[in-house]
Amino acid sequence: MKHKYIPNVATLKIDKDKCIGCGMCISVCPHDVFELKDKKAQIKDLDSCMECGACVKNCVVKALNVNKGVG
Amino acid sequence: MEIGEINTSVGVIKKISTTLSLKDKIDGCKVRWGINRFNYTVPTGIYAVGNPGDKAPVLVTADYKLTFDLLRKELSGLDLWILVIDTKGINVWCAAGKGTFGNYELLKVLNKVKLKELISHNTLILPQLGAPGIAAHVIKKAGFQVVYGPVRAEDIREFLGNGMVKTESMKRVRFDFKDRLVLTPMEFIPDLKYAAPFLPLIFIFNLLIISNKTIGEIVILTLINYIPLFIALVAGSVLVPILLPYVPFRAFSLKGLTLGLIWSFAFYKIYSLFLIPDSILVKIAYICYILFISSYSALQFTGSSTYTSLSGTTKETIASIIWGGLLCVVGTLLLISYKLMMG
């Protein structure tokens, strides 16, 4: 069962122009928030984002931003 | 834990067992209850499992012994190295979130154990949940390739077996019944602080309204009066975690409030069992306290959950402080009103 938390609050943002489509965010995200489309990452399920910051930390081109919690 | 030593080019390395002793299991249970929890570590450095050579995989983990034990018990029959980094006795995910499962700590231990001299490859397998603390591209500059492995140690064997490819389920964090159940003791114990202040409050209330009983009798009466609030604490800190997906609402405080409301209806019918005065003012005061305790203690579980965000918890915490504060004030004003009416 997939747990769902309060909707429409996650602060995750992606800068499509910077994204190089490496897929690292997809690899580290624990909640399947991203998908790869046309060689760019995009957010497919924002409400599942728990703002852990794994994607931001591992984005080599700094295309991601989130108001990160402490986990 | 240690079952010998192996001599390597970088010195003697301790070899560890992949089975947990009875003591490991008992100690593991104790930390789940908060006993010795902040002093439960293994020394940082490198350990051997089986008979690893220079091509053996390297797994990186935290120095919390509960974490280390969960990892090593999944590795029987494998030959590999385990690199333990200094996370101050905190598990991988929490340490990554707070920064100690981080680039600096990893690089520090890599240098300390001279890993480059020990292995002939440059791949480090990190738990996926280490990613909030580690930047793979930063570690790459030091000459190591970071591979984020599965979330759970139980999947490592399969992960290594199929050429370090993660299945979808290996990537996902779960929060199943058992995952939640083991957390309840350390929800209940710290949440006592939200319920405990009502004990002296009820005691003072009883002192003010009762004149023909001894102090000892009033203490016993207070403890009996307190049972409904204790049940509210169990509802918020134990039942909400256990029943999490089955309790309505997404906000944890509202889940707690829901169970608190259900208990309040029952309490309203059976209040006399707890020797509580037959007064609507007193009964509603108790219900205010029940609702505060159940919702506020349930809110605390967001800190242990695996899917709540900072933005969401901030939102419901602010609301909870306002509503919770109001409930406490209204409850106490009702008790004061009762005392004033009694004369």
Query: Quick one: what percent of chain B has pLDDT higher than 70?
Result: 100
Strands B45-49 and B11-16: parallel
Contact residues for B211 (Cβ-Cβ < 8 A; gap 6+): none
Name the 3-class secondary structure at A66. coil
* Residue A71 pLDDT exceeds 60: no
Of A46, A40, A30, the closest CA to residue A63 belongs to: A40
- DSSP, collapsed to helix, strand or coil, labels residue B90 as coil
> Chain A residue with minimal CA distance to B254?
A6
* Residues B167, B181 within the same domain: no
Do B162 and B183 belong together in one domain? no
CB contact under 8 A, A3 and B307: yes
Q: What is the CATH number of the domain that holds B127?
A: 3.40.50.11600
The answer to whether residues B280 and B314 belong to one domain is yes
Residues with Cβ within 8 Å of B275's Cβ and at least 6 positions away in sequence, in order, are B221, B224, B225
**Tokens representing residue B250 in the block:** 């997404």
Determine the residue among A22, A25, A26, A28 to mutate to test chain B binding: the one whose Cβ has the most chain B Cβ atoms within 10 Å: A28
Compare CB distances from B136 to A7, A58, A68 and report the shortest one's residue: A58
**Binary contact (A69, B313; C-beta < 8 A):** yes
Closest CB to B310: pick one of A24, A60, A68: A68
B183/B148 same-domain check? no
Tokens of residue B15, six digits: 């070899």
Domain boundary among B171, B203, B233: B171
Number of domains in chain B: 2
Mean pLDDT rounded to a whole number for chain B? 96
- Which of B152, B171, B190 is the last residue in one of the domains? B171
Q: Specify the amino acid at residue B46.
A: I
> Do B337 and B201 share a structural domain?
yes
Residue with token string 């402080």 = B321
The span from the CA of B316 to the CA of B310, in Å, is 10
Q: Provide mean pLDDT across the span B49-73.
A: 97
Query: Nearest-CA residue of chain B relative to A33?
Result: B172
The answer on pLDDT for B141 being more than 70 is yes
pLDDT band at A1 (very low <50, low <70, confident <90, very high): low
As a whole number, mean pLDDT of residues B157-181 equals: 95
pLDDT of the residue at A68: 85
pLDDT at B343: 72
Residue B307: both structure tokens together: 């899917």
Contacts by residues B18-23 (CB-CB < 8 Å, ≥ 24 positions apart):
B18/B49, B18/B72, B18/B73, B18/B74, B18/B75, B18/B76, B18/B77, B18/B78, B19/B73, B19/B76, B20/B69, B20/B72, B20/B73
Q: Pick from B128, B236, B124: which is nearest to B174 by CA?
A: B128
Could you tell me if B46 and B123 lie in one domain?
A: yes
The single residue listed with the structure tokens 């970088």 is B10
Q: Nearest Cβ partner of B97 from A48, A55, A71?
A: A71
Region B44-54 average pLDDT: 96
pTM check: above 0.90:
yes
Asked whether residue A70 carries a pLDDT value surpassing 80, the answer given is no
pLDDT digits (tens, 9 = 90+) for B236-276: 999 999 999 999 999 999 999 999 999 999 999 999 999 99
Interface test with B, best of A29, A32, A50, A55 (most B CBs within 10 A): A50
Checking if the pLDDT of B137 tops 70, the result is yes
- List the single residue in A6, A31, A51 with the smallest CB-CB distance to B173: A31
Q: Residues in chain A whose beta carbon is closer than 8 A to a beta carbon of chain B? A: 1, 3-7, 9-11, 24, 27-32, 48-55, 57-58, 60, 67-71
Residue with tokens 């710290």: B190
- Report pLDDT digits (tens) over B281-320: 999 999 999 999 999 999 999 999 999 999 999 999 999 9
Could you write out the DSSP letters of every residue in B308-324? --HHHHHHHHHHHHHHH
Which residues pair with residue B331 across a beta bridge? none
| B253 and B219 co-located in one domain | yes
ipTM metric: 0.94
Alpha carbons B38 and A31: distance in angstroms, whole number: 29
CA B263 distance to own-chain centroid: 25
Hey, are the CB atoms on B309 and A49 less than 8 Å from each other? Answer: yes
**Binning pLDDT at 50, 70 and 90, where does residue B38 land?**
confident
For residue range A16-67, what is the model confidence (pLDDT) as tens digits? 999 999 999 999 999 999 999 999 999 999 999 999 999 999 999 999 999 9
Q: Are residues B154 and B264 in the same domain?
A: no
Is residue B67 within 8 A of residue B91, CB to CB? The reply is: yes
* Interface A-B: count of C-beta contacts within 8 A: 101
The residue of chain A with its CA nearest to that of B244 is: A3
Average pLDDT over residues B29-42: 93
Query: Distances from the Cα of B326 to the Cαs of A56, B267, B292, B305, B330, in angstroms?
Result: 39, 21, 9, 27, 6
Q: Which residue of B has its CA nearest to A59?
A: B135
Contact between chains at A69 and B310 (C-beta distance less than 8 A): yes
Asked if residue B158 and residue B211 are part of one domain, the reply reads: no
Using the 3D structure, point to which of B171, B201, B233 is the last residue of a domain: B171
Residue B52 structural domain: 2-171
Distance CA A52, CA A8 (A): 16
Greater confidence (B205 vs B99) lies with B205
Same domain, B110 and B188: no
- The candidate with the shortest Cα–Cα distance to A66, out of B229, B96, B309, is B309
Q: How far is CA A18 from the centre of its chain?
A: 14
Residue type, A2: K
Q: Chain B residues with CB inside 8 Å of A4's CB?
A: 250, 307
Q: Tell me, yes or no, whether B181 and B327 share the same domain.
A: yes
Same domain, B195 and B234: yes
Closest approach of B15 to chain A, Cα-based (Å):
30
User: Is the CB of B309 less than 8 angstroms away from the CB of A5?
Assistant: yes
Could you tell me which residue, A69 or A41, shows the higher pLDDT? Answer: A41
Using an 8 Å Cβ cutoff, are A7 and B250 in contact?
Answer: yes
In this structure, what is the dihedral angle of CA atoms B333, B336, B337, B341, given to the nearest 10 degrees?
A: 180
Rounded to whole angstroms, the Cα distance separating B308 from B193 reads: 23
> Would you call A67 and B311 a contact, using CB atoms and an 8 Å cutoff?
yes
Residue B1 is predicted with a pLDDT of 86
DSSP letters of A30-64? TT--EEEETTEEEES-GGG-----HHHHH-TT--E
